[in-house]
Copies of this chain bind each other. A is one copy, B any other.
Amino acid sequence: MGSGPDRSAPPTVGPKRDGTAAAARRSPLPGAEATADDPSWPVPLHRGRFSHARGHELRDTAGVAAATAPVPARGGAVMSGTVLEQLLRGPSGIGTAGLNLTRRQVAEVPAGAVAQVPSGKPKSGDPVPGLYFHPVAEPDAERVAEVNRRIKLWAEEIELYPPDWEDQFDGFSVSRYMVACHPDAPSVDHVMLATRLMVAENAVDDCYCEDLGGSPVGLGSRLLLAHTALDPVHTTAEYQGGWQESLLSDAPRRAYRSAMEHFTGAATASQADRFRHDMARLHLGYLAEAAWDQEGHVPEVWEYLSMRQFNNFRPCPTITDTVGGYELPADLHARPAMQRVIALASNATTIVNDLYSYTKELASPGRHLNLPVVISEREAVGDRDGYLKAVEVHNELMHAFEAEAAALAAATPVPVVVRFLRGVAAWVDGNHYWHQTNTYRYSLPDFW
């Protein structure tokens, strides 16, 4: 199979153990009650240790490079610099001071020269040449260490993996990942909500779909039964017990169950419903990819991209408000323009995974579908050209995301909408940072 929300976090099947008691002991999250409509909301964002302070970082200035580069808008049209500039200038007033959806940065390439391949081979830990992305500041080491300590305790509590898989778990660097993706989380407890879910999602992907015992055969049953750890079964007294026990019967389900219990303790009912929906999408995506795998079928590029909108990081950025201690109301989340922005951002960030995990997947047994491979095969171009075209696809999705997010912020100048959009953008940036710097897992191909 391809690459879900990435894979690692080696879990195992161990004796049943109920994490309920530990979950029940946890205290309510401080800060979770703060509303996003509070005029003070921008304050905790990008304070001190989370600020983005690199010299070439344009996050804190408005639309300088952006206004000079053509950006694809809805339907593939290109906006003029002037219109774009107006949009990116965005709303003003309380709660909008921190909004800046115009951050521009291309690796080793001056702003405005997006997606041009620079000369020279990238070094280990360098970004993909020509990739349009935004660098982030190093995540706070103290917070990373604390998240790391707690996630390992949790992994032990739910018996996620055997001791000899600890190196792989550490190499996943999930704590650095989640701290980088959630710079506005008001506390470590909030970051933990995202960290447990990320680990659980990887456990399910590894054990059910991928290398660590996974297979496309019977996957539909395994994923549905795991999904019930997120979306509970309501049946008769006689059969309810069998289902409840099943949630403790393997590491993926123990992880989903416990991570979801923590999440629902902090999220509103609508936020939990949103997460369930996004996880149902993810599982549908896994199953489409598994179907192709079983048949040895290489999809058309548009089919691959459609599948990858489901087998997608989406469930991660869309919890940014819960992790941030506020709520994007359900009716604002459901609006078509917001759904489109979320899809574009999630698609861009998922293609980042395809690009950075390319050599890892080549080295794995079997054929792993990813965007470069599918383009090469379906459009009859070489490996290098397939890869470089995939970089272009990513960049177009990123530009579309940013243009539409800016347009939505301008059309709906509500602080909570703007904060949510910024949270999604921060997740996209943090996700790139983690892929770029995770040299334990990733290396770039020899195409430059």
A 218-273 contacts with B by CB, 8 A: 218-225, 227-228, 231, 233-243, 246, 268-270, 272-273
Given contacts A268-B331, A269-B336, whether A225 and B306 have CB atoms under 8 Å apart is yes
Taking a contact as CB atoms under 8 Å apart, the answer to whether B236 and A397 are in contact is: yes
Inter-chain contacts of A343 with B (CB < 8 A): 233-234
Inter-chain contacts of A307 with B (CB < 8 A): 221, 224
Inter-chain contacts of A300 with B (CB < 8 A): 242
Given contacts A234-B340, A235-B347, A277-B276, whether A217 and B294 have CB atoms under 8 Å apart is yes
Taking a contact as CB atoms under 8 Å apart, the answer to whether A217 and B306 are in contact is: no
Inter-chain contacts of A185 with B (CB < 8 A): none
Interface membership of A431, Cβ < 8 A = no
> Which of B225, B289, B309, B330 is close to A233, meaning CB atoms less than 8 Å apart?
B309
Inter-chain contacts of A81 with B (CB < 8 A): none
Inter-chain contacts of A329 with B (CB < 8 A): 331
> Which of B76, B270, B331 is close to A237, meaning CB atoms less than 8 Å apart?
B76
Of chain B, the residue at the smallest CB distance from A270 is B334
> Which of B220, B225, B285, B302 is close to A224, meaning CB atoms less than 8 Å apart?
B285
Taking a contact as CB atoms under 8 Å apart, the answer to whether A309 and B237 are in contact is: no
Interface membership of A368, Cβ < 8 A = no
Given contacts A239-B305, A301-B242, whether A287 and B220 have CB atoms under 8 Å apart is yes
Taking a contact as CB atoms under 8 Å apart, the answer to whether A302 and B235 are in contact is: yes
Taking a contact as CB atoms under 8 Å apart, the answer to whether B396 and A236 are in contact is: yes
Interface membership of A280, Cβ < 8 A = yes
Interface membership of A71, Cβ < 8 A = no
Taking a contact as CB atoms under 8 Å apart, the answer to whether A302 and B243 are in contact is: yes
Interface membership of A442, Cβ < 8 A = no
Size class of the A contact interface (CB-based, 8 Å): 35 or more
The CA-CA distance from A66 to B185 in the complex, in Å, is: 50
Interface membership of A335, Cβ < 8 A = yes
Grouping DSSP codes into helix (H, G, I), strand (E, B) and loop, the A interface class, with mixed when no group exceeds half, is: helix
Interface membership of A284, Cβ < 8 A = yes
Interface membership of A281, Cβ < 8 A = yes
> Which of B217, B234, B269, B310 is close to A309, meaning CB atoms less than 8 Å apart?
B234
A 298-326 contacts with B by CB, 8 A: 299-303, 305-307, 309-310
Interface membership of A72, Cβ < 8 A = yes
Taking a contact as CB atoms under 8 Å apart, the answer to whether B228 and A306 are in contact is: yes
Inter-chain contacts of A335 with B (CB < 8 A): 269
Given contacts A242-B302, A280-B277, A301-B239, whether A220 and B291 have CB atoms under 8 Å apart is yes
Interface membership of A99, Cβ < 8 A = no
Chain A 119-130: CB-based contact to B (< 8 A → 1; otherwise 0): 000000000000
Taking a contact as CB atoms under 8 Å apart, the answer to whether A76 and B236 are in contact is: yes
**Chain B min CB distance to A85 (Å):** 22
Taking a contact as CB atoms under 8 Å apart, the answer to whether A331 and B269 are in contact is: yes
Inter-chain contacts of A224 with B (CB < 8 A): 284-285, 287-288, 306-307, 310
The CA-CA distance from A218 to B231 in the complex, in Å, is: 25
Taking a contact as CB atoms under 8 Å apart, the answer to whether B284 and A234 are in contact is: no
Interface membership of A283, Cβ < 8 A = yes
The CA-CA distance from A309 to B228 in the complex, in Å, is: 10
Taking a contact as CB atoms under 8 Å apart, the answer to whether B284 and A280 are in contact is: yes
Of chain B, the residue at the smallest CB distance from A308 is B235
Given contacts A233-B306, A334-B269, A343-B234, whether A220 and B277 have CB atoms under 8 Å apart is no
Interface membership of A292, Cβ < 8 A = yes
**Chain B min CB distance to A257 (Å):** 14
A217-B294, A235-B393 known; 8 other A-B pairs, CB under 8 Å? A218-B295, A220-B291, A223-B287, A235-B347, A236-B396, A236-B397, A273-B339, A280-B284
- 28 pairs across A/B with beta carbons < 8 Å? A76-B236, A76-B237, A76-B238, A220-B287, A221-B291, A221-B292, A222-B291, A223-B284, A224-B288, A231-B281, A234-B347, A235-B393, A236-B396, A236-B397, A239-B302, A239-B393, A242-B301, A243-B302, A246-B302, A270-B331, A272-B334, A273-B330, A273-B333, A277-B277, A280-B281, A284-B287, A330-B330, A330-B331
